[in-house]
């Protein structure tokens, strides 16, 4: 078995048909789908079993509701493929995705990175393409930390042995959880191979956790950043990426403000800026993000909050 596709499923009866149909349309056939029903309360399990009864490559497992991270861990344990990829139950794969991935396996990659489409209401609103063929892991890690490359777990394919042993992960963190695990996987890897074509389709839903404003989610974002810092500080290459680590922290702070403005007296915000607000780090991140962070810092958020209110205003 070459590729195991792990799909956590929780109350996804409205989306799972399109997700699994995209697997059945794959032009490459040597795959298995590990569907982990995470205690769904709707008709999800019935739909999963229906697909499994028609295709032996689809396998269904059930657990009590424990969240996406635990469901993925369960899937990893059950997977028999040489490589693992993650697919969210409300997303889809391009029909040629697994074939293009299989073509890259001749390079013996640790991680294969692909581009993606962002789809809203049936329309592609953004396409991201990967511009490299091969990278050493340290170069790729620097790009990830600076926001050049995404830190989502989905849209990549991983050699299963990267998951050997327990990956560290903070408890009760949902926002930033992908980055925490993904950066550890990159740190364990050696060979990163790029696939130029967009293979993954992110379906944008308004009620996903990433689009909900909450001070708790903002705190989780910053906690994830500090967890990553502590993990990377233990690595032998830490001093090669210190500036990039600070850049990552600034990006996480920027992201957190879209969940909620925690205020400059908040312990996590104060600690982050004392340790990581550096000009070298600002120059590493995208210019608009850097400008936004400087604006937040110099005005203590006052002007930014006014702009946010103006942008969110709706004429009757």
Here the CATH number for the domain that contains residue 156 is 3.90.550.10
pLDDT band at 253 (very low <50, low <70, confident <90, very high): confident
How many beta carbons lie within 10 A of that of residue 76, not counting itself? 18
pLDDT band at 169 (very low <50, low <70, confident <90, very high): low
Task: Select the more confidently predicted residue: 289 or 129.
Answer: 129
Tokens of 297: 């810092």
Q: Is-contact 173 256, C-beta < 8 A?
A: no
Task: Select the more confidently predicted residue: 316 or 16.
Answer: 16
pLDDT band at 316 (very low <50, low <70, confident <90, very high): very low
Give the tens place of pLDDT for each residue, 40-51. 999 999 999 999
Tokens of 111: 């991680």
How many beta carbons lie within 10 A of that of residue 215, not counting itself? 14
Residue 166 has a pLDDT of 63
Q: Which of 178, 209, 240 is the last residue of a domain?
A: 209
Same structural domain, 62 and 198 = yes
Nearest CA to 261 out of 310, 314, 306 is that of: 306
Q: Is-contact 209 175, C-beta < 8 A?
A: yes
Same structural domain, 20 and 121 = yes
- The number of domains in the chain is 2
Q: Is-contact 306 256, C-beta < 8 A?
A: no
* Rounded CA separation 280/152 (Å): 25
Same structural domain, 244 and 167 = no
Rg value, the chain, Cα:
20
Residue 261 has a pLDDT of 67
Give the tens place of pLDDT for each residue, 209-252. 555 566 777 888 888 899 999 999 999 999 999 999 999 999 98
Give the tens place of pLDDT for each residue, 176-210. 789 999 999 999 999 999 999 999 999 998 665 55
- On average, the pLDDT of the chain sits at 89
Range of the domain at 149: 3-209
């Amino acid at each position: 078995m070459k590729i195991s596709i792990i799909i956590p499923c929780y109350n996804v009866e409205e989306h799972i048909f399109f997700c699994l149909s995209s697997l059945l349309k794959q032009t490459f056939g040597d795959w298995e789908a590990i569907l982990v029903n995470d205690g769904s309360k709707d008709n999800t399990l019935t739909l999963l079993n229906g697909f499994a009864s028609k295709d032996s490559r689809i396998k269904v497992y059930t657990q009590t509701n424990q969240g996406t991270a635990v469901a993925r861990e369960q899937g990893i344990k059950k997977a028999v493929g040489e490589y693992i990829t993650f697919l969210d139950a409300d997303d889809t794969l391009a029909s040629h995705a697994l074939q293009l991935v299989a073509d890259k396996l001749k390079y013996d990659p640790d991680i294969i990175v692909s581009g993606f489409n962002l789809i809203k209401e049936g329309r592609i609103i953004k396409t991201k393409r990967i511009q490299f063929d091969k990278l050493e892991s340290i170069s790729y890690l620097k790009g990830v930390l600076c926001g050049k490359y995404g830190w989502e777990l989905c849209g990549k394919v991983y050699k299963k042995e990267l998951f050997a042993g327990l990956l560290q992960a903070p408890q009760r963190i949902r926002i930033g959880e992908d980055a925490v695990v993904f950066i550890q996987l990159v740190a364990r890897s050696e060979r990163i191979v790029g696939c130029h074509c967009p293979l993954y389709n992110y379906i944008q839903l308004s009620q996903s956790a990433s689009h909900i404003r909450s001070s708790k989610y903002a705190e989780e974002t910053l906690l994830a950043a500090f967890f990553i810092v502590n993990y990377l500080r233990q690595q032998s290459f830490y001093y090669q990426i210190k500036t990039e680590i600070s850049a990552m922290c600034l990006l996480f702070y920027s992201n957190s403000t879209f969940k909620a403005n925690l205020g400059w007296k908040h312990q996590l915000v104060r600690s982050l800026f004392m340790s990581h607000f550096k000009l070298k780090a600002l120059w590493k991140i995208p210019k608009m993000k850097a400008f936004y962070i400087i604006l937040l810092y110099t005005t203590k958020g006052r002007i930014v909050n006014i702009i946010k209110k103006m942008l969110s205003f709706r004429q009757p």
